[in-house]
Amino acid sequence: MILEHITMTDFAKHLKKTKTIIFPFGTVEEHGSHLPLNTDTLIIYEILKRVVKKRKVFLAPPLYYGVCTSTSQHPGTISISPATLRRITYDLTKDAYEKGLRNIFLITGHGGGLHSSAMKEASETLVNELKGIRIAVLCPYDMLHYELSEIADTPNDSHAGEIETSLILSLAPELVKGRAKEEYPRLPKPFTVKNKIKYWPGGVWGNPGKASKEKGDQAVKLIVNKIIDILDMGEAIR
């Protein structure tokens, strides 16, 4: 049940069938010269639309803005602070709870460390405040790292690389503008640097040239099935 497409009457009727809602989290963030700025949001929302065709749960509209650090200076990236993301996550979840929802899945298409941490911190506060709530915070890329790396031909593939490009080729091929060249960030970890573009000019981590729709189709199927497994697990531990 896609929340933004239904009426309040539809919501009340469906609430009798399920107390589960999924909140998708994405970004407005550079993904090289070949992928759209909404890549993280597009991928997770389109995948979750496939999930809710198989399970009777609510799917909320995506949050388009997230915490971007390494890409914060690249053209097009518009980031929010971890404090803002914690507050938004808290408010959305608390209000969903007050509307009668009890199983909250916060699923992010952006794998940034500070981004995921902010969501998890909010969930820790909420689970202690709200009686009977169940909250899961997850990023499919983290949970399926090995399986997705098996699909890719590029070792250490990541941001705007082979897998993400393949996913967009599967979900919205008209938005792929050629292929950016293979690149990897040279950020001098563990140091925090101000001029991030100096160490990562193209904003690509991997080899988009090896991407294909077929690989994207495989990745979509993997992620859909994993999320369904987690939804079912939530039902089983009630």
Across the chain, which has 238 residues, the per-10-residue mean pLDDT values are: 96 96 98 98 98 96 97 97 98 98 97 94 97 96 95 96 98 97 94 93 97 98 97 72
The verdict on whether omega for the bond into residue 190 sits within 30 degrees of 0, i.e. cis, is yes
Q: What are the pLDDT digits (tens) for 125-149?
A: 999 999 999 999 999 999 999 999 9
Distance (Å) of CA 48 to CA 115, 161, 203: 19, 22, 26
In the prediction, which pLDDT does 238 show? Answer: 55
Distance CA 144, CA 150 (A): 10
In the prediction, which pLDDT does 234 show? Answer: 72
CB 158 within 8 Å of CB 149: no
Q: What is the pTM of this model?
A: 0.95
In the prediction, which pLDDT does 13 show? Answer: 97
CB 144 within 8 Å of CB 44: no
Distance CA 115, CA 119 (A): 7
Q: What are the pLDDT digits (tens) for 3-18?
A: 999 999 999 999 999 9
Which residue in 79, 142, 134, 72 sits closest to 113, CA to CA?
A: 142
Residues 6+ apart with CB under 8 A from 136: 104, 105, 106, 230, 234
φ, ψ of residue 144 in degrees (nearest 5) = -120, 30
CB 138 within 8 Å of CB 168: no
In the prediction, which pLDDT does 233 show? Answer: 86
In the prediction, which pLDDT does 227 show? Answer: 97
Structure-block tokens of residue 236:
């089983």
For tokens 């992010």, name the residue: 108
Catalogue all structural domains in the chain, each as residue range(s) with its CATH number. 3-236 (3.40.50.10310)
DSSP string, the chain: -BGGGS-HHHHHHHHTT--EEEEEE--B--BTBTB-TTHHHHHHHHHHHHHTTTS--EEPPPB-----STTTTSTT-B---HHHHHHHHHHHHHHHHHTT--EEEEEES---HHHHHHHHHHHHHHHHHSTT-EEEEE-HHHHTHHHHHHH-SSTT--TTSHHHHHHHHHH-GGG--S-PPPB-----TTS--S-HHHH-TT---B-GGG--HHHHHHHHHHHHHHHHHHHHHHHHT-
